[in-house]
Structure 1
Amino acid sequence: MNVSIFGLGYVGAVTSGCLAELGHGIIGADVQQAKVDAFNRGFSPIIEPELDDLLQKAKREGRLSATTNAADAVAQSDASIICVGTPSLESGRLNLDFVRKVSEQISTVLRASGKKHILLFRSTMLPGSTRAMVTDFFEDLRAAGQVRIYYCPEFLREGTAVKDFREPSLAVVGTHDGKEPESDEAKQLLGGSPSVLGWEGAEMIKYSCNYFHALKVGFANEIGRVCKFLGEDGARVMDVVCSDTRLNISRYYMKPGNPYGGSCLPKDVSALLSLARQEGISLPLLDNTLDTNQAHLDLLIKLITGKGRRKIGLLGLAFKADTDDLRGSPMVAVAETLLGRGYELRIYDPSLNLSRLIGANEAEIQRRMPHLASLLKPGAREVIEDSELIVASQKCVAMEELGTWVKPEQAVIDVNGWRELKTLPWQYEGLCW
């Protein structure tokens, strides 16, 4: 394809060079004449390994040009990729003026020419931005099938951007409805095997990744500060932490759902935080870990009480499935709160046998819920059929049974990503999406 690249900064320059290497014709577009002149000579306006060589080759083969005229760029291309900057405002929000300006220019050209076109947004934008651009500039063109619009975030690291484009660690295509695109045109311009989400989901992927990267750096540095105080080698500690690819470097804990609980995480987070405070070590991430867990629990309780239903059924009470450990269980906290507010509760947890609770586990439940025995039911069906709202924190009931037992007028809240519930014919609201 002939592809116009709007914005010849870091992302735009690398995208241009790498697409040219794949055989596409590139028309760069930028408001800065100096960048356009450099491109027309086959040179990159940024320093990045291999990029000048790619642009020089494309120039020699007649597949690279640049212009300050947006109309000319669109007229000469089959697809446009928007890579213009989205700088921060003083408030911390993004300045989308450049994206809006380019969107307006492209839509004006397409509306006047009537030509079909492919449009990819790559500029980093907050969720909802692509849809807003489409609403303001492209909705009639998209509805008429004249333009197909995608949001495709970039994951290019400075210093290894060309390699990252050739071998993407992550490729994402956002479509207006989250469904697979009818053609593979976006894949041709991205490479890899893209994951397909809605526009907002694709936009959120970029922020999720960068938030996670920032969190990891902060976490490692906090561990380093504690190790420095202890006289230990923080780098060695983190090397050992990262050697566990079953739990530490994995997707095991990367699932939105219940707040964390159990006998270990709450106790150990609190103990390390206590040490840090006692010794004057600043660990803001650790300090706020307790707060963010409580905020998630507060949201769950608010979601339940906001339904206006008084008869609540809980599927699962232990802090996770296949255990009877009630220590630190967020669902015990939910049950406590609901009972205190006068709600009528029924609970089913297949792993709970009160006669077998001993030690700290028994003491915990006697302290917090001494009347638990009267709330526990022997089967899930009794809980479901006698409740107005079902809160599922564990997958302890077969889907076929749920589909048979739950009535359309009942509400279901899924705490742990039981996505299939969405397809069943009752009122449903998940906690985490």
Structure 2
Amino acid sequence: MSSDPWGRVDETGTVYVRTADGEKVVGSWQAGSPEEALAYFERKYEGLVVEIGLLEKRVKTTDLSAKDALAAVEHLREQVDAHHAVGDLEALRARLDKLVALVETRREERRAQRAKQSDEARGAKEALVAEAEELAASDQWRAAGERLRSLVDTWKGLPRLDRKSDDELWHRFSHARSAFSKRRKQHFAQLDAQREEARRTKERLVGEAEALSKSTDWGPTAARYRDLMSEWKAAGRAQREHEDDLWNRFRGAQDVFFAARSSVFAERDAEQTENLKLKEELAGEAEKLLPVTDLKAARAAFRSVNERWEAIGHVPRDARPKVEGRMHAVERALQEAEETEWRRTNPEARARAAGLTGQLQAAVDKLRSQIEQARAQGNNAKADKLARELEGRQALLDQALKGLHEFGG
């Protein structure tokens, strides 16, 4: 009989393994010595040790599923429980039990991780839905459209949730994208209609602008071109393929008109500049008549200057006030000289002036007599009062005498 700490072989060739529950029959060995029998079943044990070690490593270092790991554990446990090996079978059972606990721990960790990932994915998808619903109301068509396409790519990269939740969120996400697309389509359809209306309006404006380009009615035509430009700006933009061509035609028609007007105005400005030079010379000639010494000769000379003045055409608008002001100053001086001459030679005015002077002289003489009388009587207060009145009457008399002198008397 042969034995080792975990098994033995009896005289009949039966092999036993020692367990906590007593000896268990491993098998029968008739092919060789008892030592060979024990060695064979010990190798069976070592094989189980190796398999359990490999399974432990897979559980710890790979993503082996809990289901597959537990199935492998049960397969090995069946082999251990079959007692077809000689060794410390209880130690193998303990390792398998520990491995089961490890698998369960890993399963819980993975379940928690998946739950966390699911929560994160749900939060991320809800954020995408919220942003998409906000973008659905945006009028920033290009930026919002690009952002929605980016959100779709982000969505595709996120893990799926449970079907119900995932479908509900996707429905909201898809609805927001559809609402935006519908609004954008309506906007551009309306924009196309507006641009078509703008094209028709601008074609009409171009037609009128081209018809006016040969006009020589400078003022009204220039005003109408300003109105046409206001209408052009108010019409909005036409389609890109029409806008530039219409503008070039519209602007070209204006250029033809304004170039012709500028040419005419340039000729007119040259003529008016020459007219100004002539009128300045006449104004200088008129100014030499002042001061007036011979009214009749001065009046005749001014009439001659004025006739030549009237024969000259327009001068530049900004120079007109100054040169005309010089002529008006001479004219006013002549008028004042005429009024002075008329007053001097008017018999009625002379008589009135002489009468007024006589009355004032009499009043002055009377006041002087009254002052002398009051002082002689010692009434100085009355004399002073009369003296102040005399000063006023004397001033009036002096002025009247000056006026009478102008009449030659």
TM-score by length of 2: 0.17
Larger relative contact order (CA 8 Å, sep ≥ 6): 1
Q: Higher strand proportion, which one?
A: 1
Q: Higher helix proportion, which one?
A: 2
Larger Rg, first or second structure (1 or 2): 2
